[in-house]
Amino acid sequence: MVTIETDVLVIGTGGAGCRAAIEAKKHVDNVVIVSKGPISKSELTIMTMPGFDATLPGDEEGNVRRFFEDTMAGGSFLNDEDLVDVLTKQSSEAVMFLEGLGVRFDRTPDGKIYRAQGESEKYTSDIKLRLDDNMGRTFYNALIGELARRQIFLKEDVFIMDLLVIDGGVVGAFGIDIRKGEPITFLSKATILATGGAGGLYSIRTGSPRDTGDGFAMAYRAGAEIIDMEFLQSNPAALVYPESVRGVVTPGWYLFMGKGIKYTNKNGEAFLERYDSRKEMSTRDVKARAMHTEIVHGRASEHGGIYLDFKGIRLEGTTLETYLKKNSPHMLNYVKLCGLPPEKILNEVIEIGPAAHFTCGGIKINTRCETGVKGLFAAGEVTGGIHGANRLAGNAMTDIFVFGGVVGNQAGTYAKSIGKVKLSKVLKEFIKAEEKRVVSILDRKEKNGVKAAGVRKKIEESMFTYAGFGRDESGLKKELSILEEIKGDELPRVYPVDRSRIYNYDWIQILEFDNMMEVGEMIARGALYRKETRGCQNRTDFPEKDDKNWQKHTLLRKEGDRMTVTTSPRRAIS
């Protein structure tokens, strides 16, 4: 079996992983970065729209403080204040890092970086940076070049199955090289999880089906604590119709917020004002709850969503084509590609609905991105605590490029301080047994078996129905029993239709199921435990926010074979 030795292993080539690898390489010679697909095709970072929240060098202190306060308010005051402090104070440095690689954020006519006010009109910080509508692509053009320039070893198409743990510390990871279908082991002094979120557990999602939450599950199995997994964010502009584009975020929708665009129900009522005086400018958690309530109370659109009505848009005396050319050329191209004359959009009403978008909870970290497990660090969407109960639009970019920097420096420094790591006899045996188990899946019989696609559908649809955007005790208990049933009855019988080893995604999908089971359980257990509605958690049987009892984190741990849930106090600034 192939074994690769390295100082720092970075799992994930999203913004968090790339920045981490670049920073780590400043401290040590040998940095390896892996992803389970090709770089710039297997991350959410590539799908990013143009929102990036940041202050800029030379900003008055008040703007940084307001950014902090806005992030806390957006997160329903459940954010870890120490992490938000790092996020907001280091955001300008993250922008400079990207500009240093050649990224050019949009400029004002006098050459300054352009920015607008944050997500909601109640929020006051000037933080919203813009790039052309293809922000993710622009980032990768710069990041891929920098990884190569620094001679960071990039290994694509490697599915990491698990971390290697000796005496409670992580010494690397074990996985499958998807191109060859062969097992592969990494031995590393420091390991960084930057594996993104878990939106792929849901049948309607804005991101990728490969977002199966592997990092949460691996960290949990290695002994890390996981916080606030119930806060799964819905995007309030995901299309529900036509069926073929279900989950896709309406391109450019954010350009029209506050410009007369309306969320309406089947009666034509602009309903958001019944839920929040900020109406269309309210945060995403508020919109998601309002949309869900309209849908379940019989006021849904024709295909089960609600309407996004463009008819009231005011464009300050210009045509839509000119407006889009200036603000969103990407959207203009998209509209033209669909064969629509741009102005026609202003007569349109489209159907949108809830879709899994961002995992606010995750691995518990401190301000050095340490996980509490020796040798294991984490950054990006796989971590929890930064965004509290709801992430502000544009703050994921800040998160990944700020904490990507922190984690790279920290892991690099740590790796430099310790000696060579070795595989113990027990670990060698574990790897051998895993290899045998994994390869034997290819020989599973069709008779009495179940196909992977069917299992996947069951997980996704039940998660959306029972652990989605309107939850209650009976539904969450049902979801836990469905997961238990899949684990006990179907997973031992699931077989791949394709029996070859090379690029066999049916096989890899089966290997992902173990992680999906664990992460599904985390979300459902967290949601069941938290008996209130707050941020992205919409408990229809506990519809009010309950600060007295619940301004604290849920905390998941592995104890033996059991997943336990407790709470931990919210960390105020230290």
Ligand X SMILES: Cc1cc2nc3c(=O)[nH]c(=O)nc-3n(C[C@H](O)[C@H](O)[C@H](O)COP(=O)(O)OP(=O)(O)OC[C@H]3O[C@@H](n4cnc5c(N)ncnc54)[C@H](O)[C@@H]3O)c2cc1C
Binding residues for ligand X (CB under 6 A)? 11-17, 34-37, 42-45, 47-51, 158-160, 194-196, 206-207, 214-215, 249, 357-358, 380-381, 394-397, 400
For residue 242, cis peptide bond before it (omega within 30 degrees of 0)? yes
Question: What letters, b where the CB count within 10 A reaches 16 and e where it falls short, cover 447-464?
Answer: eeebbbeebbebbbebbb
Q: Indicate the burial class of 428 (C-beta count within 10 angstroms; 0-12, 13-18, 19 or more).
A: exposed
Show the tokens assigned to 324: 């889009």
Closer to ligand X at the Cβ: 163 or 324?
Answer: 163
Toward ligand X, which CB reaches closer, 387 or 471?
387
In angstroms, the CA 443 to CA 24 distance is 41
Which residue, 172 or 394, is less far from ligand X as judged by CB? Answer: 394
Nearer CB in complex with ligand X: 214/225: 214
Q: Which is nearer to ligand X, 139 or 542 (CB)?
A: 139
Give the three-state DSSP class for 133: coil
| Shortest Å distance, C-beta 347 to ligand X | 26
Q: How far is the CB of 197 from ligand X (least distance, A)?
A: 6
Min dist CB 214 to ligand X, Å, is: 3
Specify the residue, 219 or 300, whose C-beta has the smaller distance to ligand X: 219
Q: Which two tokens stand for residue 308?
A: 């996004």
Backbone angles phi, psi at 378, to 5 degrees: -150, 150
Beta-bridged to residue 126, according to DSSP, are 117
First-to-last C-alpha distance (Å) of the chain: 47
Minimum distance, C-beta of residue 20 to ligand X, in the bound complex (Å): 9
- Shortest reach from residue 149's CB to ligand X, in Å: 20
Q: Output the smallest distance, CB 273 to ligand X, in A.
A: 26
For ligand X, the closer of residues 226 and 397 by Cβ is: 397
Q: Taking CA 505 as the corner, what is the angle to CA 504 and CA 507, rounded to the nearest 5 degrees?
A: 75
Single-letter code of the amino acid located at 358: F
Using DSSP's 3-state secondary structure scheme, residue 136 falls into helix
CA distance 220 to 20: 21
Can you tell me the distance from the alpha carbon of 65 to that of 81, in angstroms, rounded to the nearest whole number?
12
What is the C-alpha to C-alpha distance for residues 463 and 182, in angstroms, rounded to an integer?
32
Q: For 191-203, what is the HEC assignment?
A: EEECCCCCHHHCC
State the residue number with the nearest CB to ligand X.
14
Min dist CB 572 to ligand X, Å, is 25
The two tokens of residue 207 are 């991101």
Provide the minimum distance between the beta carbon of 361 and ligand X in the complex, in angstroms, as a whole number. 13
Give me the least distance between CB of 452 and ligand X, in Å please.
16
Q: Which CB sits closer to ligand X, 265 or 410?
A: 410
The letter for the amino acid at 346 is L
Question: Could you tell me which residues come within 8 angstroms of residue 5 by beta carbon, excluding any fewer than 6 positions away?
Answer: 30, 186, 187, 188, 420
Pick 252 or 475: Cβ nearer ligand X: 252
What size, in residues, is the chain? 574
Across-strand partners of 376? Answer: 191
- Cα gap 244→261, rounded to integer Å: 24
Instruction: Kindly state the smallest distance separating residue 270's Cβ from ligand X, in Å.
Output: 25
Q: Which is nearer to ligand X, 305 or 475 (CB)?
A: 305
CA quadruple 559, 561, 562, 563: dihedral sign: positive
Choice between 81 and 214, CB closer to ligand X? 214
Least distance to ligand X, CB of residue 493, Å: 23
The smaller minimum CB distance to ligand X, of residues 397 and 482, is found at 397
Q: How far is the CB of 417 from ligand X (least distance, A)?
A: 26
The shares of helix, strand and coil residues in the chain, as percent rounded to the nearest 5, are 40, 20, 40
As beta bridge partners, residue 471 has 539
106/473 with CB nearer ligand X: 106
CA contacts within 13 A on the Cβ side of 492: 5
- How near is the Cβ of 314 to ligand X at its closest, in Å? 24
Packed helices 81-89 and 395-417: angle between N→C axes, nearest 10 degrees? 100
Other CB atoms within a 10 A radius of the CB of residue 278 amount to 18
In this structure, what DSSP letter does residue 441 have? Answer: G
Q: State the Cα–Cα distance between residues 147 and 101, nearest whole angstrom.
A: 11
CA distance 241 to 569: 42
Q: How far is the CB of 265 from ligand X (least distance, A)?
A: 25
Q: CB-wise, 48 or 265, nearer to ligand X?
A: 48
Least distance (Å) from ligand X to the CB of residue 117?
15
The Cα angle at residue 482 between residues 480 and 486, in degrees rounded to 5: 115
Give whichever of 94 and 286 is closer to ligand X, judged by the CB atom: 94
Alpha helices in 353-489 (DSSP H): 395-417, 425-440, 452-466, 473-485
